[in-house]
């Protein structure tokens, strides 16, 4: 039988007698024909030898060697001790003429298990042979037990160390890798795989092939899902919770429920032989995964590149190590459960953050996607900075936790826009659309009042027969209407935030002095002071108070983010977000910090925030800048001492901008210097 029972009982004498074939070696000149049938009934095979030196005991059988005491001396018999060693289960039965014991002493071999006097009588012969097999099985059981204890005590400390290491690892992928690596180290397994149990809401279970390692073959990894049924080895373990320790998966005995599919081996030229497969059970004793170790070897240095090397070098997994691996698998399951829980909490949190940011960006669709792009760019820049081992930031290297901190800071940096009125966020021109409508209506009223003023005069003159005067007034009216039309055109032009042509600014100021009289006789200005203030904005489209309202988003972001009870590793988030509009020379906002007061991560975010604002899709008041132009502007920002020169340099040289989809295949080229 090639399959070992999965429990401790594999070390008992009875199970060894069941497990091992019985082999009786005898001298060729000692005929056992008379007992051949009864020996065969007892499951004993016969093997002849011509001399003691040529005896080859079989390590996978219980060996009884019949030695003719009359013709053998003590040295020859003792030599068998070495041939069998500790590993091969064997015993010697001496057949000799009574009184002929002078040729050997009783201590000639530790394997000596009985004497049968010549001539051989059936009963003493059979009793001696049976007793010798029992003694061999007993010795092997004791040897195994000893080994078992040694393996367990030797590995208990390892197991504790591994347990600590597993519980400290929070990254899921690394944890899976560590579980396989450590369990393969303990068993000298050539390969291993890890499956995780998945369950549909309807309760249907499947196994996801999650991780694999193989010392001898490079096998491309691809996740797949298979049904959790008893038909496969790992499925059987997942369903029943029993461990399987199989010495050769190609020789699985008939009648068991599981089988081994050789197609994978065939496709990669590998030979899976011994296999130890244990369930991973969590703290509720539920099976959450399956750990499969393949091909135990005497030493980890042995490689099994082809089936022949596997035949030669693969040994069964020791039942003692099975217990250790079962223990490790349980620790691993709990560690995995914790790390998956942590990951799902993080995913939930990140999902919540993204949804919130998305909701805020919906208020200003023009900047949609900005927070995620700034996050990707800033993290890309931080990774590039981490890699560079020369220059100002040679010592900077961000840990995984710090990268996570930067990620959240990026996603939340503009969260404070929630505190800015939507109309201000989306304001495209200097006046809001409704305000412009009011101005247009007012000018229509002005035109009408001019018309009615002139028409009244003209009717009066016409009735008096003064035709020439009517004509003059008509021409005057047309000129007034044309002038008013020009004024409204001036207003419409000024409403658009671009550079105002020379002279128009003064014209607008003059317009501020114009008045008209409504039908009630009340005098009104053409433009209110507020309208005039808006229309005369020299740069951009925002009034001073609107501008500071927009700027207040940074403080809002900080005040919001600082209220989240971040874990220690993420406590830098508020400070990073708070610094994303500061400038090295202290002209930024809201705190007007100087270079040394702005945390490095915020300085990186400043570069990326400006880059995205420049290159993001068209805004009504500004065209999206192409890569070359955006980078030129970043360089101007460096010259103005707004941005850190080293960071902008790394941003360009490391092509950090390529993380943005629109620039994924673009490369910045330095323009030729103008001669
Ligand atoms: Fe911002
Ligand atoms: Fe931003």
pLDDT digit string, tens, across residues 349-373 = 889 988 988 888 888 877 789 999 9
Looking at 490, 508, 541, the residue that finishes a domain is: 541
* Alpha carbon of 420 to ligand 1 centroid (Å): 12
Ligand located closest to 420 CA: 1
249-272: average pLDDT:
93
State how beta strands 22-27 and 44-49 pair: parallel
Distance 613 CA to ligand 2 centre (A): 7
Q: Is 215 helix (H, G, I), strand (E, B) or coil?
A: coil
Q: Is residue 145's pLDDT more than 90?
A: no
On the question of pLDDT at 105 being above 70, the answer is no
pLDDT at 8 over 60: no
Tell me the pLDDT band of 87, cut-offs 50, 70 and 90: confident
Does 450 share its domain with 551?
A: no
In the prediction, which pLDDT does 407 show? 96
* 6-10, 307-311, 329-333, 477-481, range with the lowest pLDDT: 6-10
For residue 611, how far is its CA from the centre of ligand 1 (angstroms)? Answer: 12
How many whole angstroms from 583 Cα to the centroid of ligand 1? Answer: 13
577 C-alpha to center of ligand 1: Å? 9
CA 547 to centroid of ligand 1, rounded, Å: 12
If asked whether residues 28 and 56 sit together in one domain, one would say yes
Whether residue 617 has pLDDT greater than 80: no
Q: Number of folded domains in the chain?
A: 4
pLDDT of residue 577: 97
Inter-residue contact 69 to 100 (CB < 8 Å): yes
pLDDT score of 372: 94
How far apart are the CA of 609 and the centre of ligand 2, in A?
5
| Ion ligand 1, residues whose Cβ is below 5 A away | 414
Q: How far apart are CA 116 and CA 114, in angstroms?
A: 7
H/E segment holding residue 435? helix 433-463
Closest ligand, as measured to the CA of 374 = 2
Kindly report which listed range (154-158, 170-174, 255-259, 576-580) carries the lowest average pLDDT score: 154-158
How far away, in angstroms, is 420 Cα from ligand 2 center?
14
How remote is the CA of residue 371 from the centroid of ligand 1, in Å?
A: 9
Separation of 560 CA from ligand 1 center, angstroms?
14
**Which pLDDT value is given to residue 2?**
38
Average of per-residue pLDDT across 40-56: 90
Same domain flag for 336 and 391:
no
589 vs 143 pLDDT, higher one: 589
Q: 3-class SS at 213? A: strand
The answer as to whether 347 is a domain residue is no
Q: Does residue 357 sit within a domain?
A: no
Indicate whether 12 pLDDT > 80: no
Instruction: Give 370 Cα–ligand 1 centroid separation in angstroms.
Output: 10
392 C-alpha to ligand 2 centroid (Å)? 26
Which CA distances in Å does 254 have to 101, 243, 260, 455? 49, 18, 12, 114
Ligand 1 centroid – CA 624 distance (Å)? 18
The domain that contains 222 carries what CATH number?
A: 3.30.450.40
CB atoms within 10 A of CB 582: 26
pLDDT at 589: 96
Compute the distance between CA of residue 512 and CA of residue 527 in angstroms, rounded to an integer. 6
Regarding whether 103 and 31 lie in a shared domain, the answer is yes
Q: Would the pLDDT of 619 be above 70?
A: no
Measured distance CA(351)–CA(345) in Å, rounded: 10
Nearest ligand to the C-alpha atom of residue 372? 2
Read off the pLDDT of each residue in 309-334 and give the average, rounded to a whole number: 90
In a domain, 352, yes or no: no
51: in domain: yes
Distance 121 CA to ligand 1 centre (A): 103
Indicate whether 632 pLDDT > 80.
Answer: yes
Distance, C-alpha 78 to centroid of its chain:
61
CB of 26 closer than 8 Å to CB of 66: yes
Tell me how many degrees the CA angle 446-447-453 measures, rounded to the nearest 5: 90
pLDDT band of residue 618 (cuts 50, 70, 90) is low
> How many angstroms is it from 426 CA to the middle of ligand 2?
15
* Distance from residue 349's CA to the centre of ligand 1 (Å): 22
The rounded distance, in Å, linking the Cα atoms of 514 and 512 is: 6
Average pLDDT over residues 310-328: 89
End-of-domain residue from the set 485, 510, 541: 541
Residue 307 within any structural domain of the chain: yes
In a domain, residue 602? The reply is: yes
Ligand 2 centroid to Cα of residue 547, in Å, is 15
Tell me the C-alpha distance between 66 and 95, whole Å. Answer: 7
- Say how many Å lie between the CA of residue 508 and the centre of ligand 2: 34
Specify the higher pLDDT residue, 608 or 351: 608
DSSP state of 464: T
Q: Tell me how far the alpha carbon of residue 402 lies from the centroid of ligand 2, in angstroms.
A: 20
Instruction: Point out the ligand nearest to the CA of residue 369.
Output: 2
425 or 591, which is more confident: 591
Within this chain, do residues 379 and 511 fall inside the same structural domain, yes or no? Answer: no
Ligand nearest to the CA of 556: 1
SS3 94: strand
**Location of structure tokens 């590039």:** 384
Same domain, 559 and 410: yes
Residues ≥6 apart with Cβ < 8 Å to 498 = none
Compute the distance from residue 370 Cα to the ligand 2 centre, in Å: 7
- Residue 115 pLDDT > 90, yes or no? no
- Domain span including residue 446: 433-541
In this structure, the answer to whether residues 400 and 500 fall within a common structural domain is no
Ligand nearest to the CA of 367: 2
The answer to whether the CB of 206 falls within 8 A of the CB of 228 is yes
Proximal ligand: closest to the CA of 614? 2
Mean pLDDT, residues 140-155 taken together: 82
Instruction: Check pLDDT > 50 for residue 291.
Output: yes
Place 483 in a pLDDT band, splitting at 50, 70 and 90: very high
Shared domain for 391 and 494, answered yes or no, is no
pLDDT the model gives residue 367: 78
CA-nearest of 276, 375, 289 to 325 is 276
Ligand nearest to the CA of 590: 1
> How far does Cα 350 stand from its chain's mean position?
14
Same structural domain for residues 315 and 279? yes
Ligand found nearest the CA of 371: 2
Say what the pLDDT of residue 644 is.
Answer: 97
How large is the average pLDDT for residues 400-416?
95
Same domain flag for 309 and 222: yes
Q: 495 C-alpha vs ligand 2 centroid, how far in Å? A: 26
Strands 22-27 and 62-68: parallel
Cα–ligand 2 centroid distance for 373 (angstroms): 9
**Listed range (8-12, 218-222, 336-340, 470-474) with the worst mean pLDDT:** 8-12
Among all bound ligands, the one having the nearest atom to the CA of 361 is 2
Distance (Å) from CA 404 to ligand 1 centroid? 20
> Residue 624's domain is classified under what CATH number?
1.10.3210.10
> Tokens at residue 148, please?
């078992």
Domain stops at, among 127, 146, 165: 146
Instruction: Round the average pLDDT of the chain to a whole number and report it.
Output: 89
Same domain, 332 and 311: yes
Q: How far apart are CA 413 and CA 605, in angstroms?
A: 9
The mean-pLDDT minimum among 144-153, 174-183, 544-553 falls in: 144-153
**Given the structure tokens 């000024």, which residue do they identify?**
494
Q: Is residue 35 part of a domain?
A: yes
Nearest-ligand number for the alpha carbon of 551? 1
pLDDT, position 169: 85
Ligand 1 centroid distance, CA of 413 (Å): 6
Please tell me the least confidently modeled range out of 172-176, 205-209, 310-314, 670-674. Answer: 670-674
How far, in Å, is the centroid of ligand 1 from the Cα of 585? Answer: 18
Q: Which ligand number lies closest to the CA of residue 588?
A: 1
**What was the pLDDT predicted at 10?**
56
Q: Decide if pLDDT at 225 tops 90.
A: yes
Quickly state the pLDDT bin for 102 (edges 50, 70, 90).
very low
Distance from residue 580's CA to the centre of ligand 1 (Å):
6
Q: Is 668 contained in some domain? A: no
d(CA 584, ligand 1 centre) in Å: 16
Torsion sign across C-alpha atoms 570, 571, 577, 580: negative
Residues with CB under 5 A from ligand 2 (ion): 414, 609
- The pLDDT of 191-209, averaged and rounded, is 92
pLDDT in tens, 155-167: 888 888 888 888 8
Q: Encode pLDDT of 508-559 as tens digits.
A: 889 989 998 887 888 999 999 999 999 999 888 999 999 999 999 999 999 9
CATH code for the domain in which residue 10 is found:
3.40.50.2300
Of residues 498 and 329, the one with the higher pLDDT is: 329
Max mean pLDDT range (99-103, 338-342, 455-459) = 455-459
One domain, residues 537 and 567: no
Alpha carbon of 407 to ligand 2 centroid (Å): 13
Q: Which ligand is nearest to the CA of 553?
A: 1
């Amino acid at each position: 039988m090639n399959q070992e029972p999965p429990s401790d009982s594999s070390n008992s004498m009875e199970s060894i007698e069941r497990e091992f074939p019985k082999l009786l070696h005898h001298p060729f000149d000692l005929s056992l024909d008379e007992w051949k049938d009864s020996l065969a009934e007892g499951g004993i095979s016969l093997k002849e030898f011509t001399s003691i030196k040529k005896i080859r005991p079989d390590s996978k059988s219980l060996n009884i060697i019949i030695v003719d005491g009359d013709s053998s001396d003590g040295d020859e018999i003792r030599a068998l001790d070495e041939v069998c060693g500790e590993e091969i289960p064997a015993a010697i039965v001496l057949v000799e003429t009574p009184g002929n014991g002078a040729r050997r002493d009783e201590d000639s071999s530790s394997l000596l298990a009985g004497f049968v006097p010549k001539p051989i009588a059936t009963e003493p012969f059979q009793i001696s042979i049976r007793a010798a097999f029992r003694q061999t099985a007993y010795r092997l059981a004791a040897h195994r037990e000893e080994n078992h204890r040694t393996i367990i005590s030797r590995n208990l400390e390892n197991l504790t160390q591994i347990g600590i290491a597993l519980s400290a690892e929070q990254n899921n992928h690394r944890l899976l890798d560590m579980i396989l690596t450590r369990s393969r180290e303990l068993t000298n397994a050539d390969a291993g795989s890890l499956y995780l149990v998945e369950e549909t809401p309807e309760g249907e279970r499947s196994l996801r092939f999650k991780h694999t390692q193989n010392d001898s073959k490079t096998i491309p990894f691809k996740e797949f899902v298979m049904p959790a049924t008893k038909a496969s080895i790992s499925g059987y373990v997942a369903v029943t919770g029993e461990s399987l320790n199989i010495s050769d998966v190609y020789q699985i005995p008939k009648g068991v429920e599981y089988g081994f599919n050789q197609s994978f081996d065939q496709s990669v030229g590998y030979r899976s032989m011994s296999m130890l497969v244990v369930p991973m059970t969590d703290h509720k004793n539920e099976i959450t995964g399956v750990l499969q170790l393949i091909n135990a070897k005497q030493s980890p240095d042995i490689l099994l590149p082809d089936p022949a090397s596997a035949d030669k070098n693969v040994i069964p997994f020791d039942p003692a190590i099975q217990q250790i691996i079962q223990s490790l698998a349980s620790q691993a399951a709990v560690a995995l459960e914790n790390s998956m829980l942590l990951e799902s909490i993080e995913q939930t949190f990140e999902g919540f953050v993204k949804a919130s940011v998305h909701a805020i960006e919906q208020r200003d669709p023009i900047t949609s996607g900005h927070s995620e792009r700034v996050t990707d760019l800033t993290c890309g820049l931080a990774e590039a900075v981490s890699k560079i081992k020369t220059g100002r930031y040679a010592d900077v290297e961000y840990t995984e936790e710090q990268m996570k901190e930067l990620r959240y800071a990026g996603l939340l940096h503009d969260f404070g826009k929630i505190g800015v009125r939507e109309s201000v966020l989306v304001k495209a021109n200097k006046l809001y659309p409704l305000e412009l409508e009011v101005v247009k209506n007012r000018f229509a009223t002005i035109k009408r009042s001019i018309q009615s003023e002139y028409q009244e005069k003209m009717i009066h003159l016409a009735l008096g027969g003064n035709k020439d005067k009517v004509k003059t007034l008509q021409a005057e009216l047309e000129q007034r209407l044309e002038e008013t039309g020009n004024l409204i055109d001036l207003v419409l032009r000024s409403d658009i935030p671009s550079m105002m042509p020379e002279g128009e600014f003064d014209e607008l100021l003059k317009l501020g002095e114009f008045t008209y009289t409504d039908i009630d006789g009340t005098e009104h200005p053409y433009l209110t002071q507020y309208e005039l203030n808006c229309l005369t904005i020299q740069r951009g489209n925002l009034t001073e108070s609107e501008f500071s309202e927009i700027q207040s988003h940074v403080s809002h972001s900080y005040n919001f983010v600082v209220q989240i009870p971040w874990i220690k590793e993420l406590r830098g988030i508020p400070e990073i977000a708070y610094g994303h509009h500061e400038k090295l020379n202290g002209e930024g906002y809201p705190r007007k910090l100087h270079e040394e007061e702005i945390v490095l991560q915020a300085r990186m975010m400043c570069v990326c925030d400006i880059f995205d604002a420049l290159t993001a899709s068209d805004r009504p008041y500004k065209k999206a800048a192409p890569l070359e132009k955006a980078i030129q502007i970043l360089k101007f920002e460096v010259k103005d001492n707004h941005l850190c020169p080293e960071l902008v340099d790394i941003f360009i040289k490391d092509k950090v901008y390529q993380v943005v989809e629109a620039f994924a295949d673009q490369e910045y080229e330095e323009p030729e210097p103008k001669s």
